Structure 1
Amino acid sequence: MSGARGKRIAIGVRPPVNAHAEAWVRQGDADDLQKGDLYTARLTLDITPALRARIKVSAFTQGVTVAELLRGLLEREFPETTN
């Protein structure tokens, strides 16, 4: 066993960098940062499973996420007032 401790095993050469793939990964990070800057408060609601299902179906049929659907609904119901 003592002889195996000093033995090194070659891992191999690192694959070449794909610039397109790297840019795509970094773009996801930028999108997450922008969302975090815009939406910094979390709102938790207790709703029935049936209402949750209706909301999810509605969001799916509109091609948006539940969060996007609810943000739009809340923005329409509570518009920002200008003084």
Structure 2
Amino acid sequence: MKNGKRVSIGARPPANPQAEAWVRAGDGNDLAALARAEVYTARLTLDVTPALRGRIKVAAFTRGITVADMLRALLEREFPEQRP
């Protein structure tokens, strides 16, 4: 502000309990993401060319899944858990 006056914003409006519950509930995918986060706790960094990154992103998009989910499935197929 050029003239140094402060403008009061006012008090925060009261919360709408239905809106708050809706926000906390999410769309159902949040629970799945939390479950995956508990399973997939190690981060893997991989350098790829921009062209390969683009192909991966397009493939994931056309399949309707995230890049992370698609690559996890690919790695699981390629490196299955060895059971004794």
The two structures have a TM-score, normalised by structure 1, of: 0.71
Ranges in structure 1 where 5+ consecutive residues have no aligned partner: 1-9
State the shift of 1:61 in Å: 0.5
Call closer, same or farther: CA 1:30–1:69 in 2, change over 3 Å.
Answer: closer
Question: How many angstroms apart in 1 are the aligned matches of 2:58 and 2:12?
Answer: 49
Larger radius of gyration: 1
Question: How many angstroms apart in 2 are the aligned matches of 1:74 and 1:54?
Answer: 17
State the shift of 1:76 in Å: 0.3
* 1:79 and 2:80 aligned: yes
- The structure with the greater share of residues assigned to helix is 1
Number of equivalent positions? 74
Call closer, same or farther: CA 1:29–1:76 in 2, change over 3 Å.
Answer: closer
Question: How many angstroms apart in 1 are the aligned matches of 2:53 and 2:23?
Answer: 37
Cross-structure match for 1:16: 16
What is the identity percentage for the equivalent residue pairs of Structure 1 and Structure 2? 49
Q: Which amino acid aligns with 2:35?
A: Q
Q: CA RMSD in A?
A: 2.5
Question: How many angstroms apart in 1 are the aligned matches of 2:38 and 2:53?
Answer: 27
Deviations 1:3-44 (A, max 9, x none): xxxxxxx7265143107515524x666444322211100000
Q: Which amino acid aligns with 1:46?
A: D
The two structures have a TM-score, normalised by structure 2, of: 0.70
Ranges in structure 2 where 5+ consecutive residues have no aligned partner: 1-9
Question: How many angstroms apart in 2 are the aligned matches of 1:12 and 1:44?
Answer: 43
Cross-structure match for 1:50: 51
SS at match of 2:82: coil
Question: How many angstroms apart in 2 are the aligned matches of 1:49 and 1:33?
Answer: 29
